Structure 1
């Protein structure tokens, strides 16, 4: 080999090494979700939305030219475990953003004790408590809180409409003693009574009890047209079984936390023939079809449950905001999230091809509007969004299915009527 060819070979090796080093850099996005515990049966599916998003970001060219990675930790549906997981992500792995948590109680604990003090973005795909809006209004989130699902201030109204449309005038409520249960029960009670209904009982329960017979007995009297059960699979299954065995009506109102085929199967589909449920829905966009197709290729058929598209969108938004900011800094991501959902920007949808397009536009310093699988994602100043509510039921074969939608306009009109 000549001296010239040796020099060329060395140069090529040097360039290759530089390219490899660049490709080898990673950008870590944190995630805290319930993979076990009361929400585990739902959380294992929701996490797949975030995993698909990271795969798409990677295939589209990465985040700031680095390979995106998802560091997914289990909170066991426990606030204390969730806080420990978030501390590990922030203090040890130095993530600038966390996708999660799912339970409102877990998210609230992480937000107030870890992410806001640490100037780290927390973007939840599933925490619906109105508490977060109040925290933001009081200036206690630092603007680091976002969610890709609507507040239960909307779901409570939608559930009241569903109940009244079904002819229910008297409803008993049994709700989980956490931020989610407290918030949704209060919002439903306010909407339902304002619109003409009566809440016969509003009974709180604590998680992880071997029996809930005393709570069920209290909720049974006086007799109600239907039971609104607000909780998660696990404890919710125990309560539903004890309600049925005690002779309670088999007309159920169920929210997003119980939109689960496993829950229906565990209670017994034969007892779930008269279910009316609500959950945050998705505005039909090109993103939703793409998301369904990509999910099917990677994981199989998309389950009928809430929040999987919301997890995808939250994770994609973090990646796009990092690209826009040119930084993996929490404050820069916070300030860029609304820049990549700018209604004046060029529309970007879900999927690898669209995310490649977004990367090119961001490199050209052009504004974009990511329209997600769950909808347009227009964050207000408190980190909240509007979206419709899907209505779901259990069909004759015992399968959970979506039946209709309560639109954003319908919810807005009912809220206006309530304010009169």
Structure 2
């Protein structure tokens, strides 16, 4: 049985508890984006400190999403036995503590356990925060979930700028990560108790907040895999842009490095701008129109990247792809939320994001070596077509029956 959104003709009553839960989730999404973004932005410092080879560093960077992917799959079972708000609060604290330990680690032997904890905690936070975002959207009765992703995107940009500043100032890793933990942990502790109002399976009000999640929830894999294909496609494109975009612009289109570096920056900026306005657009025009329009924009963007005859064309293409994909992941998770009211489907769907991320990072380079980077990016074009073809099915699940992410009068 699905948990329906309130019909647009009968708007949901937004309580103070729900508003506080939304604020608490904003802080969680920001902490998640800041922590992960900071770690990857300071990878050169980690490499130098522990004198890692390129191969070892590559293994570490691949291990993190692998650990997170396994953890997010397991989380679907964990939250059937332990309240999701407790899992989320413990995991986000563990993630920040692991980040600090990575910063102070005196040896590789200490770094590895902290790295493992970081990956597992990140996956558990990723799964539970998405569960709660979808659950709270159900209670709100209107689209709010994309806004959480806007905060996540903004946190990644803040992390990049903060890491650049700290590296320029020669700030030690332990101090940089420690400052983040000192700022974020008190905020998370202060607001974490409000997450109960966004609890998965809550029917509304305090009575719903006190209700325990059912044990042994069974969610059919077939519809989850359908949603997972969309998520894998979207994250493959994102990974190909983040991992290889600047390389493509520099080596294939012969742009200077200062220009090539803008490839992922434009992608990220367009995604952030799109996410800041997406919830309003969905409420105004409905999920179907927004998803289809965004999927088409993403496809046009990737076609422009492959067909680019000059660096600026590719940069515009990456920006269009980022702007087009801004709603795909959030609304895919919202669609997964219609499959059950336990959050298990959302956790399972979340695993596919790591599949896409890993495939995008791993396949583009080898295929480019065998042919060319332009040919390799045809995979991203094909996956953009997949997203466009499946956009209608995704929207139908969101707007079908009583789950109405449709336009409001």
Instruction: Kindly name which structure, 1 or 2, has the bigger radius of gyration based on alpha carbons.
Output: 1
Relative to its length, the structure with more helix (as a share) is: 2
Relative contact order, higher structure (CA 8 A, sep 6+): 2
TM-score computed with the length of structure 2 as normaliser: 0.24
TM-score computed with the length of structure 1 as normaliser: 0.23
Relative to its length, the structure with more strand (as a share) is: 1
